[in-house]
Chains A and B, each alone.
Chain A
């Protein structure tokens, strides 16, 4: 898996270097606030990525599944064919984005949509103890 990540990362770097040369900054519209002499709206900050291999700001603009088709193909396939995959429930809805990423999400994320599931979750158990990630099978009643 590490090798795949390395490949993916290098491919990005290659595309970046060959195609674009140097990086430039994000474009922002003319700020209404600037026009009244105040500071610009939101600052652009480089934020350290936690819980994910280091990637550049430009790589962070890639939908998760694009890399994970290569990096974690089994997981991507499970997700794609699951109810979540068909209904377009995307990786970041459970795992967050780079600044708040959790490799293992909290059950709280599940309860955003599955609040009633709390009633049958056994104490001390996670949702995926019974419904394995990433296809989350449900026993037919």
Chain B
């Protein structure tokens, strides 16, 4: 193992209780029923991260009182993390929003209004903006936590009804670079393989991911694989910060933030120059490409390109503990193992060159043939429970339509218009604003009405103050749908209370192309409504306001349907049967009936119910496993790359140079700042901050400082430290910890308190391809401002 207990404790020994000093918690505590003491168990999926754990909700007297894992599930094998065990406590929480709240101006207090009034206001404001300022003056900003049915109907009304592609969502902040990587390397979005590869892998390459905290139940599967096969299985952890994930690593590669592109190219150099590549696999399935023009080059050109990345040169760029020997060892383990699986998350995606970083990981798999066989895959872990299913597949970003269709292609727009029964040409050809551009447009006064659903951009956008200023403008009408008050409801004109998970029905699609149904098990608090009902009723009013029957046509198939089950079922039927037909994410076999019959849902492609009932496609592109690989086969080779983005049906090995971050440290701001998740909390803590066990475990954010830096700057554990960038500053307690590399500080991003909300400090530079911001790296300076101070856990109420 990488770190013994003694070593790990030694590193954390400097931490004292002083850094945790705080006061009372902002929640009421309740007695819970015993887990065994329930009337019934209702099967669904976890509400929180992207793993897609299957679980049962225990219901007693119409209330959610317990959760337990489902052992038959192929995602979690029965295991749950603490968030999955405890999120039922959100359901009956006394601070749930239950009345629509409205204010004309943002400096006024909210007043309670009826649903009729609220929907009328929302319709009038959006219609008024469209009439006065044009269709692109309105926008929708959604979430990878919304159900697929919700994202689908929102974007249908926006595109087909209001004629704008201003449809975005928070997956832009976390997964867009992975999408770009998959499309440009493999020609199709989403992973080829599955979690099932974990138990067959012999080498794990974990880069830019603290999966022990961000995806704990999948990490458990890796841990078990390693502990059960300590000599057979190798784990390489590549990260500028030692994290709990490092505990299962055989080798931890620690480097200056942003230099990992050089490591990846150097590993490719070793693979090529030491002839560790799979020549037949490359000849059969791959081509080499470079530049914006995607120019095809040959093997010799690639080899020459890599001469800039000898292990010696890369080690000099990367610093930290990176040595030429380490790079060579990693390349050998990766290439020679019977099956290698890479896993990554935001450390790779949230980067100025996130797509390139994704490409360089895929390169290693293509070069070595560590793909498509059992245990081998290049596997991006998704952050949110429905970023893949709802947003990537359901058309939740400004440039994509449902079924992995690009907005800019007329034929694909026409397919959607036909499926919706609306006139050809109704969907505009120009993609809308991507996330950062959307909030910049608000700052510039170009967006007059925006609907924000199930997410809190006021806290989760990078450089948040800049965008909160725009959101405070009186000429931008903001509707927020959510279950609790947040930093974003503070900037809203209209707040609409929604039903929570298990209080409504719908599908989540997790990391491994798996769609799973969560049925309504309990009623929402009186006054809270499912989003699908809200959108339908709003669209009917919009149609009247704008005197536009096409808007009504967008929701016509859903009029009169019962909101708890029949309405989402009708939406899912339309989406899956009409919009995924003959697409690579074909979900026609995954009907509600089939999904209800499966312990763990269905992996697409699943074109028929009979195939869906087998569980679907475990490995894409493999003949005999993936029905589309057989159907689309153009030759007799076992692998068929039929994805929509590569007409040559090849895997593309990219020549991508090393590029550093958008903002590197300098004399004025000499530290790297990076941010990330903590296991006990989810995103902005509006939910987990109200669960006593979770809030107590991590009541506020702190800044991790390397002991060498702490010593130099006179910072002791628990001292209050100012972290300042060119954009803003925080003051947080210090955790002196040999986690971040020297010269780097790390802050968890969940805390809502203005002093500890780290996105006031982060930078909003973004990848030019994926438009995903570089949350993970910016420059900052730090200084001790005082000894320990009393801190207060904080949530907006």
Residues of A within 8 A of B (CB): 11-12, 15-16, 19-20, 23-33, 35-36, 40-47, 57-63, 66-67, 69, 77, 80-81, 83, 86-90, 92-93, 96-97, 99-100, 106, 108-109, 111-116
- Tell which of B69, B219, B693, B797 touches A97, judged by Cβ atoms closer than 8 Å: B693
- Ordered by A's residue number, 17 sampled pairs between the chains whose C-beta atoms are within 8 Å are A19-B790, A20-B789, A23-B23, A26-B794, A28-B795, A29-B794, A29-B796, A31-B485, A36-B110, A43-B28, A57-B23, A59-B17, A60-B25, A83-B223, A87-B223, A97-B692, A111-B35
- Tell which of A12, A20, A32 touches B17, judged by Cβ atoms closer than 8 Å: A12
Q: Is the CB of B24 within 8 A of A25?
A: yes
Nearest residue (CB) in B for A23 is B23
Q: Is the CB of B26 within 8 A of A42?
A: yes
Q: Is the CB of B5 within 8 A of A32?
A: no
B contact residues around A30 at 8 Å (CB): 490, 796-797
A47 and B29 CA atoms in complex are apart in Å by 8
A46 and B23 CA atoms in complex are apart in Å by 11
Q: Is the CB of A67 within 8 A of B248?
A: no
Q: Is the CB of B32 within 8 A of A15?
A: no
Q: Is the CB of B17 within 8 A of A44?
A: no
Residues of B within 8 A of A (CB): 5, 8-9, 15-18, 20-29, 31-32, 34-36, 66-71, 78-82, 85, 94-95, 97, 101, 109-112, 212-213, 216, 219-220, 223-224, 227, 244, 247-248, 485, 489-490, 495, 679-680, 692-693, 696-699, 752-753, 787-790, 792-797
Q: Is the CB of B34 within 8 A of A106?
A: yes
Q: Is the CB of B23 within 8 A of A115?
A: no
Q: Is the CB of A23 within 8 A of B790?
A: yes
A contact residues around B27 at 8 Å (CB): 42
Q: How many A-B pairs fall under 8 Å by CB? A: 192
Q: Is the CB of A32 within 8 A of B696?
A: no
B contact residues around A83 at 8 Å (CB): 220, 223-224, 227
**B685 nearest CB across to chain A (Å):** 11
- Tell which of B8, B23, B485 touches A26, judged by Cβ atoms closer than 8 Å: B23
Nearest residue (CB) in A for B789 is A20
Q: Is the CB of A108 within 8 A of B697?
A: no
Q: A28-B797, A42-B27, A90-B697 are in contact. Are A113 and B35 (CB under 8 A)?
A: no
Q: A58-B23, A83-B224 are in contact. Are A92 and B697 (CB under 8 A)?
A: yes
Nearest residue (CB) in B for A113 is B79
Nearest residue (CB) in A for B56 is A115
A contact residues around B789 at 8 Å (CB): 19-20
A16, A36, A61, A66: most-surrounded residue (chain B CB, <10 A) = A61
A96 and B86 CA atoms in complex are apart in Å by 11
**B47 nearest CB across to chain A (Å):** 16
A63 and B21 CA atoms in complex are apart in Å by 11
**A97 nearest CB across to chain B (Å):** 5
Q: Is the CB of A42 within 8 A of B224?
A: no
B contact residues around A67 at 8 Å (CB): 17
Q: Is the CB of A32 within 8 A of B485?
A: yes
B contact residues around A57 at 8 Å (CB): 23-25
A25 and B68 CA atoms in complex are apart in Å by 35
A contact residues around B495 at 8 Å (CB): 32
Nearest residue (CB) in B for A81 is B5
Q: Is the CB of B110 within 8 A of A32?
A: yes
- Tell which of B22, B78, B794 touches A113, judged by Cβ atoms closer than 8 Å: B78
**B540 nearest CB across to chain A (Å):** 28
- Tell which of B35, B220, B794 touches A27, judged by Cβ atoms closer than 8 Å: B794
A30 and B795 CA atoms in complex are apart in Å by 9
- Tell which of A11, A23, A32, A61 touches B699, judged by Cβ atoms closer than 8 Å: A61
B contact residues around A81 at 8 Å (CB): 5
Q: Is the CB of A61 within 8 A of B796?
A: no
Beyond known contacts A90-B680, A112-B68: 19 more, CB 8 A cutoff:
A19-B787, A19-B789, A26-B24, A32-B97, A32-B101, A33-B797, A42-B27, A42-B797, A45-B28, A61-B20, A61-B21, A77-B5, A86-B248, A87-B223, A88-B213, A93-B82, A99-B692, A112-B69, A115-B70
Q: Is the CB of A19 within 8 A of B35?
A: no
Nearest residue (CB) in A for B95 is A41
B contact residues around A63 at 8 Å (CB): 20, 697-698
Q: Is the CB of A25 within 8 A of B23?
A: yes
- Tell which of B23, B109, B216, B787 touches A88, judged by Cβ atoms closer than 8 Å: B216
A contact residues around B692 at 8 Å (CB): 97, 99
Q: Is the CB of B36 within 8 A of A108?
A: yes
Q: Is the CB of B26 within 8 A of A108?
A: no
Q: Is the CB of B31 within 8 A of A100?
A: yes
